[in-house]
Amino acid sequence: MPTLIHLSDLHFGPAYLSHLGDLILKEIETLQPDAVVISGDFTMRARNNEYQAARAYLNQITRPMLTIPGNHDQPLSAPVERLTRPFARYQQHICADTDSTLVAGGLFIVGLNDNRRILPGGFWSSQQRAWLAAQLDRAPRGAIKIVATHHQLMWEGKARPAGFWFPARALAFLAHHGVELVLNGHTHIPSAEQPAHDIVVARAGTSTSSRPRHGNRNAYNLITIDERQISVFVRQYSEPNDAFIAARAYTFPRRSNAF
């Protein structure tokens, strides 16, 4: 049964909570997931020292890993660099590719950089859609197809969530290419739903920053997939336990054409 740990919005910098980061590293060692996905916002302001701390952290993760950048990973205080080479620091410290794929434990995961230099993120260009389709169509036979982006595909049932211009079209596109699971971050609010085409859309909260929102606590998602269902466990930090515990669990049937 493939298992996946999904972290997001680590936000190295003044808001980073190192104790929680250390706990999560121990959980990864204990749970030994088939893959770890980190869906962007590694830093607060894309400063080099924040990136160095993020890199030191990633070096301690021993499982197969896929990363994508978030909107905070483009420098704000260096406008020329933001316009000309917005992900140069990300590529130097985190991953040379801003769009990438990972094959691990029966999973085929595609990470798409959906950030924009000035406009809100969440838009996929025609070039990116073509790249995404080509990657998904070359997935190993029988692999479970997953797409990860930083910005949220769904926002509390709204048809046009902030930052994503055509979510219904995106879901139809992903379904056509056999995607069963979408992973998002950015909002700092964990959630899981199955909005259309039997695709599960799971969002991770902020795993380690002091900026959880709307009463949520720091959290990450543990996802398990068996032949019939996809389960998303929101593992939330509990102060009395000084541990991440399963605070919410969601189970969804897998797409009937997937097996």
Q: How far apart are CA 253 and CA 96, in angstroms?
A: 36
**Residue with smaller CB distance to Fe ion, 71 or 113:** 71
Select from 65-73, 106-114, 135-143, 171-179 the region that touches Fe ion (CB under 5 A): 65-73
Helix (H) and strand (E) counts in the chain: 6, 12
Select from 35-43, 56-64, 122-130, 197-205 the region that touches Fe ion (CB under 5 A): 35-43
Cβ atoms of residues 111 and 100 within 8 Å = yes
- By rule CB under 5 A, what count of residues binds Fe ion? 5
Q: How far apart are CA 64 and CA 28, in angstroms?
A: 11
Site string for Fe ion, 76-115 (x = CB under 5 A): ----------------------------------------
Residue 70 lies near Fe ion (rule: CB under 5 A): yes
SS3 246: strand
Q: Which of 41, 50, 73, 114 binds Fe ion (CB under 5 A)?
A: 41
Residue 207 lies near Fe ion (rule: CB under 5 A): no
C-alpha to C-alpha distances, 86 to 3, 41, 58, 89, 193, nearest whole angstrom = 33, 13, 21, 8, 32
Residue 50 lies near Fe ion (rule: CB under 5 A): no
Residue 9 lies near Fe ion (rule: CB under 5 A): yes
Torsion angle in degrees (nearest 10) through CA of 251, 208, 85, 36: -40
Residue 152 lies near Fe ion (rule: CB under 5 A): no
Residues binding Fe ion (CB under 5 A) = 9, 41, 70-71, 186
